[in-house]
Chain A
Amino acid sequence: MAGIVLRERAVEVGGGRLTMRFRTAGTGPPLVYLHPAAGLHFDPFLETLSAEYTVIAPEHPGTSAGDADAIHAIDDLWDLVLVYEEAIRALDLEGPVAAVGQSFGGMMAAELAAHRPDFFERLVLLAPIGLWREDLPIANWIMTPPEELPALLFRDPGCPAAQAMFTPPEDPGEALALTAGLVWALGCTGKFVWPIPEKGLAKRLHRIAAPTLIVWGADDALIPSAYAREFGGRIVGSRVEILPDCGHIPQLERGAETLALVRGFLAG
């Protein structure tokens, strides 16, 4: 992203079993961003937030460049939550910490906030996974053929944000590395949610103490927006916002509205 300066931090976690890497940008109060299943990408949403916050984004184990095998050091979701918790704690962040998580990252943010109710001052969940209703099955994004992904993720697959996401780089080597990285990231995150992305979060959501904002696209084809109420009903005092004409990635497809909601909420 032009104009944004990304910094890197790395901390050893799990008793030395692996290294967690962070990308950070901006200045101001700390804001932890937990990325979706496809890996970390600094999009315009994060760029804008980094004008007011220090955005701190951990890379899911296995998705950091040159460290693909780190994923094998973690066996299950319990391991994973502890590793994320340890890594964020090791940063010694000053002042109240906010967290934003999208989709898979939304589930991770909710897991962390439930595990450590004192951890986050405020919590934003953008179309999180983690719950399951028999009558509203969640699409299997890991097995969705590439040509069907735009329609799964966007209400309007022709919108500029979708075009930007799915137009491969011109350089063939770069395009290949990007595709390979995406496939591997889906595998690394999928490890903890395959084959049904419901691992008991419903039994833990009540532990969340942070004021929580839940944002969903009304036309989310991956996780139906009815799940917004499922999260809202379980997180005491949370607020649910559903954006019309919007798919699974509100911060890209309805960037201005989502930013306004998130900034307003974080400012208290």
Chain B
Amino acid sequence: MKIVAFAQNQYRKFPDDFQDRHEGTVTAPWSLAEPGEIRAAFRDYLDYIMQAARSGFDGVAFTEHAQTSYDMIANPSVIGGAIAYATETEGLDVAVYPVGRSLGKAREPVRVAEEYAMIDCISGGRLMAGFPVGLMFDAAINNGVPPIEVRHRYEENLRLILRAWRDPEPFAWNGRFTQLPSVNIWPRPLQQPLPVWITGVGNPATMKMALENNFGFNYFGWFGSELTAGRVFARFREVADGVGIDANPNRLAFMASVCVGETDEEAERVYGPHLEYFFNKGPGATQVGKLAIPGGISLPGIRFLLEDQAGDFGFAHEMRHASAERIFEVGAAVVGSPATVADRLIGIARGYGVGNLVVMLKMGSMPRDLVSDNVARFAESVLPRLRAETVGDDLPHRWWPERLGGSPEPAGAKLDALAGAA
């Protein structure tokens, strides 16, 4: 089993009533930002990633959010470059996993291919390439992409990037969204092929795409894993069975907020306010309408959502004002003593057949010392128990860098076949 440390870089000093007066995304007022805190946020963020890299994790992860106060990583390649170099100089053999960049919004897909190729070269072949479709407001508002085109742009961009990495010869690209007379990037990635990961929220079409194209599938538990994870992973199995593809646990990742204290009570007391900050002022402070702009969801998808509203989105509609108790109750975070946390994570890995756990040990308004304690306690007291778990260990890990023991295989063939048929 692989354990990866992840975080978002949230602004930590908003006033208590922020979520009642503002949106956390797109219109979050920059006038509230203190320059000293912005500077400290980036330093603390990178220090967290490096602490995790030095603490025995298998990988480190970060992602992309634009015009978003709950994650100021507007381009994960900037973080990826810094982390790739720093870990290489210290001899830390960790996977470097940008969970984004979002390709539904990307207007310069070749630049994305180049940036990831550079990270792979700087890290000496430790990149895991994450490509989510992305958040609808990010594509449609922040980047002006018509919602109905986002999915199509995503697929074309992904095909172009995968070909730019693998094709040894220059080629012309006559796409609907990108036309280029000669694609021939320098550098190509060191890894041939590169492991590719998709993050999704439960859309069966995205699951099918991941399975048929040999992409890993990452799912996160912020909507309340007690409410959503069972049905989403069950759906993944159904889709996998439907297309006749094995359910190798290594192709699945689960992302969870994790808070480790000395005891359950202490953990809930210490981390509770910071979890409230994360959910109330972060994902919760985003109007649902920004995530479901007309055109972004197909007509059958709209019908499904209208008929089955709460379902996949768990407690999303409560996040803006959710209490710590509610956050614990729905499983939107894994909080407790080392034993409790280990039990819960092992339960998730075994129960859902997940071979990769992506743990978020820094969130919301947590000060740097508390983050550091959380990482240390997880590394000392939780990681050894997870190491004893063998979920997926008997099967090849085809979604992990070769240098780190994986055996990646080519990805994206089905997308090419579908595009060729169209």
Contact = CB atoms under 8 A, between A and B. Distances in A.
> Chain B interface residue count: which class?
20 to 34
Given A142-B293, A187-B296, A194 B146 contact: yes
Given A143-B289, A194-B140, A195-B140, A188 B303 contact: no
Contacts of A68: 298-299
Interface string B278-307: 000000000101100111111100110011
B309 to A, nearest CB: 11
A265 interface: no
B21 interface: no
A53 interface: no
The winner among B144, B147, B299 for most chain A CB atoms within 10 A is: B299
B302 A190 contact: no
Contacts of A192: 146
A135 interface: no
Contact of A188 (B141, B295, B297, B306): B295
A177 B307 CA distance: 10
B152 interface: yes
A143 B149 contact: no
A186 interface: yes
A146 B343 CA distance: 44
B183 to A, nearest CB: 21
Given A68-B299, A187-B294, A194-B145, 15 more contacts: A71-B148, A142-B147, A145-B287, A176-B303, A177-B303, A179-B302, A179-B306, A180-B303, A180-B306, A187-B295, A187-B296, A187-B297, A191-B149, A194-B295, A195-B141
Contact of A184 (B146, B293, B302): B302
B302 A183 contact: yes
B144 A195 contact: yes
Interface in B110-152: 140-141, 144-149, 152
B176 interface: yes
Contacts of B293: 142-143, 187
Interface in B210-256: none
A75 interface: yes
Contacts of A177: 303
Contact of B294 (A72, A176, A190): A190
B303 A191 contact: no
Contacts of B299: 68, 180-181, 184
Contacts of A188: 148, 295
Contact of B176 (A75, A145, A185): A75
Interface of A: 68, 71-72, 75, 142-143, 145, 176-177, 179-181, 183-188, 190-192, 194-195
19 contacts: A68-B298, A143-B290, A176-B303, A177-B303, A179-B302, A183-B294, A184-B302, A185-B294, A187-B148, A187-B294, A190-B146, A190-B294, A191-B148, A192-B146, A194-B145, A194-B146, A194-B295, A195-B141, A195-B146
Nearest to B152: A72
A181 B302 CA distance: 9
Given A187-B147, A190-B148, A180 B295 contact: no
Contacts of B295: 142, 184, 186-188, 190-191, 194
Contacts of B149: 191
A190 B296 CA distance: 11
A268 B152 CA distance: 47
Interface string B32-62: 0000000000000000000000000000000
Nearest to B295: A187
Contacts of B290: 143
A184 B294 contact: yes
Interface string B295-329: 11111001100110000000000000000000000
The 10 A-B pairs with the shortest beta carbon distances in the complex, nearest first, are A187-B295, A186-B294, A194-B146, A187-B294, A68-B299, A180-B302, A195-B144, A184-B299, A191-B148, A183-B294
Contacts of A187: 147-148, 293-297
Contacts of A194: 140, 144-147, 295
Given A194-B140, A194-B146, A142 B176 contact: no
Contacts of A191: 146, 148-149, 295
Nearest to B176: A75
Contacts of A186: 294-295
